[in-house]
Amino acid sequence: VFLILVVLKINDVITSSWWFIFIPFFVSVCWSFAISVRTALKRRRNNESDLQTNAAWLRVISVGVLSLLSLLFAVLLVPLLQGTGQYSVAWVFVPLYVIGLFAFCVSCVVVPPILLFLISRKSARTAASEMRPFRTSNRPYTPPPFKRYPHFNPSKSTSTGAPSNEEAETNSGTEKVAEIV
């Protein structure tokens, strides 16, 4: 609605003031802040985990700062659009620069430690679940029967599993006989 009103005002279809045009913008910014506060209060009321509640309040703070800076941008922009502002356009865009700086700081300084914490917590939870026994019965554990393999003879091989010198010589002699025949 806001963009439609701006386009209509720029094309001189609407003769309303710029303050009237910006009402949908003001309402949407305030609405997003109210929804984030409501979500945080609901999580606190439902006694959800501390991590989720703290994340919701961090979201309230960040949405509040962004909302305040967006409203400041609009309040500085409207007088310039009406021709009553006695300041430079650069001052109008200062809140947007602060929003960019805020977004940069949040994405580069705050988010990685939170992600690392969540990943380490998840891996610790996974490790704890892997340490639980998968059998739930109270029967004693009996190992499976040992199967002897006919091709493996421990007396003829070394401790590394490689053939002994005698076995290697026997094999090379057999190969020579097979080549001659």
pTM: 0.54
The Cα–Cα gap between 119 and 121 comes to 5
For residues 24 and 152, the model is more confident at: 24
Bridge partners (DSSP) of residue 157 are 163
Specify burial of residue 95 (Cβ count, 10 A radius: 0-12, 13-18, 19+). Answer: buried
Please report the pLDDT score of residue 12 as a whole number: 86
**pLDDT over threshold 50, residue 22:** yes
Please report the pLDDT score of residue 95 as a whole number: 87
pLDDT digits (tens, 9 = 90+) for 112-144: 777 777 777 666 556 555 555 555 566 666 766
Contact 30, 67 (CB under 8 A): yes
Over the range 50-87, which residues count as b (16 or more CB within 10 Å of their CB) and which as e? eeebebbbeebeebeebbebbbbbbebbbebbeeeeee
Mean pLDDT over all residues of the chain? 75
Please report the pLDDT score of residue 177 as a whole number: 47
**pLDDT over threshold 90, residue 25:** yes
Taking the alpha carbons at both ends of the chain, their separation in whole angstroms is 95
Residues 6+ apart with CB under 8 A from 77: 92
pLDDT digits (tens, 9 = 90+) for 34-68: 998 898 888 878 877 777 777 788 888 888 888 88
For residues 69 and 115, the model is more confident at: 69
Contact 78, 19 (CB under 8 A): yes
The Cα–Cα gap between 70 and 25 comes to 9
Please report the pLDDT score of residue 28 as a whole number: 93
Tell me the CB-side half-sphere exposure of residue 140, using CA atoms within 13 A: 1
Residue closest to 27 by CA, chosen among 56, 2, 57? 2
